[in-house]
Amino acid sequence: MKLSSPCRPALVLAALLALPGHAAHPQGTLPEIIDPPFVFDGPVPSTAPVEPQWFADAAFVGDSRTEALATAGLFSPRLRLTQVGLSVRTARAEEGFVVDGSRLPLTQALAQSGCRKVYLMLGASEASWMSGEEFYRDYSALITDLRTCLPNVQIYLQTLIPVTISRATARKPDNDQIAAFSALIRRLARERQVYLVDLAPLFTQSNGALSPDLTTDGYLLNSQGNALWSTYLMEHTVAN
């Protein structure tokens, strides 16, 4: 990906963070420039709920599910970078998002926004056509992109919400594929030392599927589902 001008001062940091588990940062050691100290062996634990204003300096990146959440009126993020069927690959594309009438790369849009938190939900599209190895590699590269341009940003990866049984029967991906990609996201958060919001268990029934009571079409969440999602985010944060 071509780096826009805000990224150039941090090229050395990009080199250090280019690979998961790079030897420059032993496991359990966090580069101070990235995030406050935190144990990355598991997801962000439950915390006292924050107010909706917590998201006033946050960007949300994802597909139509993320768009529905961010426009549900439950909170107002500073920036929404969403597209139907957005994948980690298209998120890294040059000039991939329209912001104030201009087409910008993800990193430039975020750098101009002044956001201090980035919430990512990617993988629901890729689970039907991308190999796990490719997904892990491309998502890791996206994290490097973000850290290069925004070295002090908090990065939150979210695991994937399943679909209903009827949706999984009608079209890919099925819930086994979605669960496999959530497992990769957990591994990625641990190895790249970014925050993990483990949403998947919250929405997964004993049959591995999303409850029909929480969705409009088997995929998009309804008002009840979005309220559950937003409450969980507010109860799983890391102090600035």
The tens digit of pLDDT for each residue in 215-234 reads 999 999 999 999 999 999 99
Range 106-131 average pLDDT: 94
CB atoms within 10 A of CB 240: 11
pLDDT(8) > 60: no
Question: For a pLDDT cut of 90, what percent of the chain falls above it?
Answer: 73
Its pTM stands at 0.84
Instruction: Work out the mean pLDDT of the chain and round it to a whole number.
Output: 86
- CA distances for 219 relative to 125, 167, 212, angstroms: 11, 7, 9
22: phi then psi, degrees, rounded to nearest 5 = -55, 140
| Segment 78-118, tens digit of pLDDT | 999 999 999 999 999 877 788 888 889 999 999 999 999 99
Q: For 24-28, 165-169, 184-188, which range has the lowest pLDDT when averaged over its residues? A: 24-28
Range 141-145 average pLDDT: 96
| Segment 202-217, tens digit of pLDDT | 999 999 999 999 999 9
Burial label, 183 (beta-carbon count in 10 A; 0-12, 13-18, 19+)? middle
Nearest-CA neighbor of 63 among 130, 138, 119?
119
pLDDT(6) > 90: no
pLDDT for the residue 101: 82
pLDDT(11) > 90: no
Question: For a pLDDT cut of 70, what percent of the chain falls above it?
Answer: 84
pLDDT(41) > 80: yes
For residue 215, the 8-state DSSP code is B
More confident residue, 1 or 201: 201
How far apart are the C-alpha atoms of 176 and 75, rounded to whole Å? 31
Task: Give the three-class secondary structure for 172.
Answer: coil
pLDDT for the residue 183: 98
Exposure letters 127-165 (e unless 16+ CB within 10 A, then b): beebebeebbbbbbbbbbbbbbbbbebbbbbbbbbbbbb
Range 35-59 average pLDDT: 87
Tokens of 124: 């629901």
Residues facing residue 155 across a β-bridge: 118
Q: For domain 48-234, which architecture applies?
A: 3-Layer(aba) Sandwich (3.40)
pLDDT(1) > 70: no
